[in-house]
A = this chain, B = another copy of it.
Amino acid sequence: MADVVESRLRDYFKKKSFKPGDALPKELELAEALGVSRNVVREALSRLRMLGMIESRKKRGMILASPDILGAFERVLDPLIITEETLQDLFELRLVLEMGLADVLFINITPEHLKQLDLIVEAEVTDSQTFRIKNEIAFHGKLYEIAGNDTLKRFQNMLLPIFGYVLKLEKELISGTVSHKDLVDLLKGGDKEKFRMGMHAHLKPHFDKLEQLKK
């Protein structure tokens, strides 16, 4: 029932051409307009509020809002409850993002960014799986930050627990022949294609596993 009313509320807002920032009718009016009980409308409104699509403002009542598009996603991204297949899909998605990042990276990178990457690489400790995961997060997280796309950066931040979880499942410390330090050198070199090939070599053990899985 709440599903149906949630969907009808969305249609109603659309039909009335409400835009973000517009004041919305009160709960009671909405219940009357849709011909349903106030309790059901309240439940549906609660869902839309959770998604950030409506907000309550003092004195102005409810307004339509620009939703936080990743907020709801964040709420369900728990490696303990999502299926193994989805975990695998998300890990693969990470590989796609890392490989695709080069162009945006080269558009945005500054000498200051390169210094920050140097510091991260110098601080790396590589003798345990836990530290390896920390290095991964610090280094690759910085790359996303440099790319300068807030949505992408938050998206990757959310995926981090998933990557950590999948990496922990791997028994040995697998590592490509190209290190984080090598990648920083390639960034400094300024050749996008070489960087991309370096990133592929860095991620190669993961791609090899993918290739085995697909066979």
Taking beta carbons and an 8 Å cutoff, which residues of A are in contact with B? 2-3, 6, 14, 19-20, 42-43, 46-47, 49-53, 64-73, 75-77, 80-83, 85-86, 89-90, 92-93, 95-104, 107-108, 147-152, 155, 193, 196-197, 200, 207, 210-211, 214
Contacts and interface: CB of A to CB of B under 8 A. Distances in A.
A81 B55 CA distance: 13
A93 B2 contact: no
Q: Which of A43, A69, A193 is most buried by chain B, counting CB atoms within 10 A of its CB?
A: A69
Given A42-B43, A100-B100, A193-B193, A76 B93 contact: no
Given A2-B46, A93-B149, A99-B99, 9 more contacts: A3-B50, A42-B43, A53-B81, A69-B77, A72-B75, A89-B152, A95-B104, A103-B200, A107-B214
A107 B215 CA distance: 9
A82 B103 contact: no
B151 A104 contact: no
Contacts of A85: 150
Given A69-B82, A70-B73, A214-B107, A97 B95 contact: no
Q: Copy number in this complex? A: 2
A76 B69 contact: yes
B47 A50 contact: yes
Contacts of A49: 2
Contact of A96 (B80, B90, B152, B197): B152
B152 A93 contact: yes
B89 A150 contact: yes
27 contacts: A19-B81, A20-B83, A42-B43, A43-B46, A47-B47, A66-B82, A66-B83, A67-B76, A67-B82, A69-B76, A69-B86, A69-B90, A70-B73, A72-B72, A72-B73, A85-B150, A86-B151, A89-B150, A90-B151, A92-B104, A92-B149, A95-B100, A96-B147, A97-B97, A100-B100, A107-B211, A148-B214
Q: Which of A49, A149, A152 is most buried by chain B, counting CB atoms within 10 A of its CB?
A: A149
